[in-house]
């Protein structure tokens, strides 16, 4: 394993994104092309991140463990911890920049691009996992339950796991 490249790709994914799911498209493109991860690794790590304590973004640490063992997990921990330190700089310039039309536009444009990219990556993950009535049903039910917002995501995942064991 080329740990320097491994760490650099992790750091890039965390630095050039925002939010817990932000690194996902980067890691999906880079780690699959290096042959360091499988589609299943992403579902596995994202699930652990939703269940374990701490930010959902810690799924990157789980992903590090699955792809690079304890070394991978510790490198992921560093890669996840460093970029948010940028908030100290951001909080200084936030007041000056937040009302500029260009700033608003850049952030909104970023969101639109993030959504478009993520939809395609998610569709890839979904199709490779297997398209059949059961998986489509689980997808639809989870989306509706998440939209209604009454059930914590941890229970939605649990229900989906049980449905998978019983029906697939």
Partner 1 sequence: MVEHGSGTKNTPTLLQLLAVWLKIGLTSFGGGPATQVLIYQHFVTQRKWIEPEAFAQMWAVVQFAPGVNLIALAILMGNTLAGAAGVVVSLIGMLLPSAGITIIMTAAYATVRSNPAVQKALRGVTPALVGMSIVFLWRLLKPPMHKLQKNGSGPVLLGMALVLCAMALTAFNVPILIIYFVGAFVLGVAYTVWARQNKTEAHV
What distance in Å separates the CA atoms of residue 77 and residue 55, rounded to the nearest whole number? 12
Q: Between 4 and 102, whose beta carbon lies closer to partner 1?
A: 102
Q: Between 37 and 45, whose beta carbon lies closer to partner 1?
A: 45
Window 128 to 167, contacts with partner 1 (CB under 8 A): 129-130, 134-136, 138-143, 146-147, 152-154, 156-157, 159-165, 167
What distance in Å separates the CA atoms of residue 26 and residue 6, rounded to the nearest whole number? 12
Window 28 to 67, contacts with partner 1 (CB under 8 A): 29, 40, 43-59, 61-62, 65-66
Using the rule CB under 8 A, is 68 a contact of partner 1? Answer: no
Nearest to 103 by CA among 114, 116, 115, 90: 90
Window 91 to 120, contacts with partner 1 (CB under 8 A): 91-92, 94, 98, 101-120
Out of 8, 34, 71, 73, the only residue in the binding site for partner 1 (CB under 8 A) is 73
DSSP 101-140: HHHHHHHHHHHHHHHHHHHHHHHHHHHHH--SHHHHHHHH
Out of 8, 15, 38, 71, the only residue in the binding site for partner 1 (CB under 8 A) is 15
Q: Between 4 and 116, whose beta carbon lies closer to partner 1?
A: 116
Upper half-sphere CA count for residue 48 (Cβ side, 13 Å) = 14
């Amino acid at each position: 394993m080329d740990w320097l490249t491994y760490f650099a790709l992790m750091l890039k994914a965390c630095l050039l994104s925002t939010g817990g799911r932000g690194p996902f498209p980067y890691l999906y493109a880079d780690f699959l092309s290096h042959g360091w991860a499988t589609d299943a690794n992403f579902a596995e790590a994202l699930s652990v991140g939703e269940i374990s304590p701490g930010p959902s973004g810690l799924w990157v640490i789980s992903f590090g463990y699955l792809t690079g063992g304890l070394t991978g997990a510790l490198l992921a921990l560093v890669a996840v911890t460093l970029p948010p330190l940028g908030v100290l700089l951001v909080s200084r310039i936030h007041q000056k920049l937040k009302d500029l039309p260009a700033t608003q536009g850049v952030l909104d444009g970023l969101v639109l691009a993030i959504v478009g990219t993520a939809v395609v990556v998610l569709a890839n993950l979904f199709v490779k996992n297997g398209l059949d009535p059961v998986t489509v049903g689980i997808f639809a039910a989870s989306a509706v339950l998440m939209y209604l917002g009454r059930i914590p995501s941890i229970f939605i995942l649990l229900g989906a796991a049980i449905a998978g064991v019983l029906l697939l």
